[in-house]
Structure 1
Amino acid sequence: MSDPKYLTIIQDLKQEIIGGKFKPGEKIYSEGELKKKYNVSNTTVVRALQELVRDGLINRIQGKGTFVSKSILNKQVIFNEYSHFPNDKKIGFNSFENLERTEVHSIKEIIDKDIAKKLNISNNEIIVHFERIRYADQIPWALQNNYIPKSYLKNVDLTNLDEFTSLSEKILEICGIDILNEAMRETIEIEFPVENEVKSKLQINDSPVYRIERITYLSQNEPFEFVKTYVRHNYYSIEIIKEK
């Protein structure tokens, strides 16, 4: 059960930031001030601030304090991802229509402290790693690694790889969770040089890739899935539209 005071701190700070009490880039309360104001432990304050960092509302700078993010607030932003054949018309990221297919290369149970941290679980908890490769006209264009805590997949048969070709549909079937429509946080970066394993699986030489990392959240900002995807640079583009 979530700590009510932890949720109160989050809600109050969100209202103050979105309401304009603190401007973008402005410093807000210190951990000590919040601890005293709400009569809570330092752990509760830190947890609340971490959630606000994940929501993109604040930035924490060691030795300087906590600041309101300079990101756009209260603005409608449309973010479109596109996949396309090189020199071809771009189409929606999730479909090459009949030209695209996905193969599940492996499903493994692993223990990884770095991924566990992203999923907010203990270092020794088992994580299920789904490795899939997406092909377009026989060309491997995306390497997808999905990591889900084993606790969500208890008593699930993971031996039939073909059943997990569409992971989102399978998760909806077995968990009742529509991961495509849950809250998420995604980062996109250019990676170069590229790890040899990634180069081998995408069949590329000395060219950059996009590295896309996403965490999917359930209610109360509980991480459900961490995804790390590598995409051939010439098969992907993004478009951002900001409404006035």
Structure 2
Amino acid sequence: MAAPLYRRIAQQIKEDISEGIWKEGEAIPTELHLSEQYQASRVTVRQAVKVLVEEGLLERIQGSGTYVKEQKIEHNIFELISFTEEMRKLDKQPVNRILDFQLIDPTDYIKRMLRLSDGEKVFFVRRQRLVDEIPYVLEETYLPVTMFPNLSYSIMTGSKYDYIEKEVGKKIKESFQEVIPVLPTPDIAEALTVDDSTPILKMQSYSIFIDGTVFEYSENYFKSDEYKFTLRAKRLQ
């Protein structure tokens, strides 16, 4: 039995989106145009569009029209993966732009998070994480100098975790994370190219090696229109 016409139209629109004929963020043609294109009534076209809105491929904006929805990056908080690894899995080529690279005396808070002794210094690195010249994440990370004495500006333009595991030879076990919505400070808003009244997602985290040594403390700021955080909860049997 053939699928209803509105379902077939919805499927054709899906294929057009996947092939890039209809691009993310673009307005779709009017109902009249679509009804002529698919030789269907406007009611049928409206049903097809409704299906795709419900599936999250299209979105209606009040007073403006219907658009191909820009898909957010889905970040699984139970998977410890670097930004570089995450983007490559999505066939995107990430770029790390260093905004600040310093050897500093840690604050009491950073000293406590990294379990440092008196007098120990840390590297402070601030990076824009970009894809196609669009900043997705702003990262501020602190790394103990005693663990990474050879850390350099050029190393941090690549994958931090690649450097730690492949060059330093340390095995990363896990990361402890807290995600909260915040309003960006003016400098963070500028780095992420968002308005300072736009909420963003802040992730505070510290990471440990297999032996339990804390090796990193980071604060990452994610654009909420580009990222969503997911988790899978299982009911106990």
TM-score bracket for this pair, using the shorter chain length: 0.5 to 0.7
Amino acid across the alignment from 1:218: F
CA root-mean-square deviation:
2.3
Instruction: Check the 8 A contact 1:103/1:165 in 2, yes or no.
Output: no
* Residue 218 (structure 2) aligned to one of 216, 227, 230: 227
Match of 2:135?
140
Structure 1 residues 59-98: aligned runs within 5 Å: 87-91=69-73, 93=75, 94-95=86-87, 96-98=90-92
TM-score by length of 2: 0.58
Match of 1:103?
97
Match of 2:160?
167
Flag the structure with higher helix content: 1
Instruction: Check the 8 A contact 2:171/2:210 in 1, yes or no.
Output: no
Instruction: Check the 8 A contact 1:111/1:123 in 2, yes or no.
Output: no
* Residue 189 (structure 2) aligned to one of 181, 188, 199: 199
Change beyond 3 A, Cα 1:123–1:232? farther
Offset at residue 163 of structure 1 (A): 5.7
Amino acid across the alignment from 2:138: L
Which deviates more from structure 2 when the two are superposed, residues 162-171 or residues 224-233?
162-171
SS at match of 1:214: strand
For structure 1, which runs of at least 5 residues remain unmatched after alignment?
A: 1-85
TM-score by length of 1: 0.57
Which deviates more from structure 2 when the two are superposed, residues 92-101 or residues 129-138?
92-101
| Aligned equivalents of 2:93, 2:69: Cα separation in 1 | 16
Which deviates more from structure 2 when the two are superposed, residues 232-241 or residues 216-225?
216-225
SS at match of 1:144: strand
Deviations 1:96-143 (A, max 9, x none): 423543223332111122211110113531001122111133221210
Paired-residue identity, %: 16
Match of 2:208?
217
For structure 2, which runs of at least 5 residues remain unmatched after alignment?
A: 1-67, 76-85
Change beyond 3 A, Cα 1:91–1:131? same
